[in-house]
Amino acid sequence: MAEDHPSYGPLISAVIPTRNEAGCIAATLDSLGGLRACGHEIIVVDAGSTDATEALARGRCDRFVTHAPGRASQQNAGAALARGDVFWFVHADTQVTPAAQTELLACLAREPCCWGRFDVRFTAARPALRVVAACMNLRSRITAIATGDQGLFVSREYFERVGGFADQPLMEDVELTRRLKRIARPRCLRAPLVTASRRWETRGVVRTVLLMWWLRAAYFCGVSPQRLARWYA
């Protein structure tokens, strides 16, 4: 169990939505162990996993709760339970490097009320995926729009001001950052998070890039998230 409060800076509540993530959840939570040891909080919000996710997660987090499926609503539920001054939304297949934790703590010590994201790199070392990661990182710096793979963090004040995640089946991360950038520019931290490349390897790099561009363009043109989710499935 974490201490009552970290030794310095705002209290961080890391919120991790899960559903049948037994293959990666232990590594993800272990990568956050240093943060938890410093007194910060780890919350897992599970959408009824039928594998070993719960057994692997319970001893590695401060709270494990079940919730109806839906990443947006799961993350909102985790934030509603959190004690922290800052919410950090981490995907279950994303590992947090020590450098990323150090950079986040330093950022929040300077500016407790802010929001931002990290650079990302993929688990696979394929040259094409290194290019994809570099383009993702550059794009989000230019547009101030980020995705959940980049480990969004946001102060409680900002999160509540924009109403949390929109309850929609896709693009909830893009929608949140669209709202947040009206308040302030994101803090783009360069220490990388390491995210699974499984989606890209399964669907193919080029096909996945084109699909994500198409979905994002359609969303900005007003296509409903429900229709986008059917296209993405």
Q: Which residues pair with 116 in a beta bridge?
A: 153, 187
Of all helices (H) and strands (E), which one includes residue 132? helix 127-143
Per-residue pLDDT of the chain (233 residues; tens, 9 = 90+): 444 555 568 999 999 999 999 999 999 999 999 999 999 999 999 999 999 999 999 999 999 999 999 999 999 999 999 999 999 999 999 999 999 999 999 999 999 999 999 999 999 888 999 999 999 999 999 999 999 999 999 999 999 999 999 999 999 999 999 999 999 999 999 999 999 988 888 888 889 888 888 998 999 999 998 998 888 87
Task: Say whether 160 sits in a helix, a strand or coil.
Answer: helix
Residue 163: per-residue pLDDT = 98
In this prediction the pTM is: 0.93
Per-residue model confidence (pLDDT) at position 1: 45
Question: How many whole angstroms separate alpha carbon 127 and alpha carbon 119?
Answer: 17
CA angle 35-41-44, nearest 5°? 110
What is the per-residue pLDDT for 68? 97
Q: Which two tokens stand for residue 199?
A: 């989606």
CA dist 59 → 1, 43, 53, 94, 95 (Å):
9, 11, 11, 19, 17
pLDDT given at position 201: 82
What's 149's DSSP letter? G
What CATH number is given for 12-199 in this structure?
Answer: 3.90.550.10
Token pair 């931290």: residue? 189
